[in-house]
């Protein structure tokens, strides 16, 4: 067993700079509401971030990815040979760590969950993997940005 791989993801997540910039810009534009979207790539490498609409009843304190956006983006990714490797959302006023609500509502084991915090400047970005064994159990992973 390779100690550098955890449930299909290398221990270090690599993200394209343009994808990270997309996530941060989305968070800033949407604040004070939470933003959300999909992360595309494969094997722990994120090559693209796609914005989705937040359809939560109270978008100032939580997020719900629009189901139509989710399905449409999944289909588009599949056509382009990419996987949905995870999801992102923002915490406009709190830390870039999963909240209790994030843990209760996360439903894609072994996917990446990226959180952007705007509570400080520059924004803090955390990336986590949801353990498929323990519901709501997130593991923080190192993040490396590449051109």
Cα–Cα distance, 84 to 60 (Å, whole number): 25
Query: Given 29, 34, 104, 105, which residue is catalytic?
Result: 34
How does DSSP classify residue 33? S
Instruction: Find out whether 89 and 51 touch, Cβ atoms under 8 Å.
Output: no
Instruction: Find out whether 145 and 21 touch, Cβ atoms under 8 Å.
Output: no
User: Is residue 34 flagged as an active site residue?
Assistant: yes
Report which of 113, 99, 92 is spatially closest to residue 46, judged by C-alpha positions: 113
Q: C-alpha 39: how far from its chain's center?
A: 6
Q: Give the containing element (helix H, strand E) for 20.
A: helix 17-30
Catalytic residue numbers read 34
């Amino acid at each position: 067993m390779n100690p550098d791989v955890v449930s299909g993801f290398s221990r270090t997540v690599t993200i394209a700079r343009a994808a990270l910039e997309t996530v941060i810009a989305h968070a800033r534009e949407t604040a004070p509401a939470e933003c959300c979207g999909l992360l595309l790539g494969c094997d722990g490498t994120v090559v693209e971030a796609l914005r989705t609409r937040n359809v939560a009843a109270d978008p100032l304190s939580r997020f719900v990815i629009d189901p139509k956006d989710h399905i449409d983006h999944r289909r588009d990714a599949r056509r382009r040979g990419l996987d949905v490797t995870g999801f992102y959302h923002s915490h406009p006023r709190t830390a870039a760590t999963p909240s209790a609500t994030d843990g209760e509502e996360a439903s894609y084991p072994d996917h990446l969950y990226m959180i952007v915090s705007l509570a400080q400047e520059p924004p803090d970005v955390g990336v986590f993997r949801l353990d498929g064994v323990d519901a709501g159990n997130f593991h923080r992973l190192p993040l490396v940005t590449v051109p």
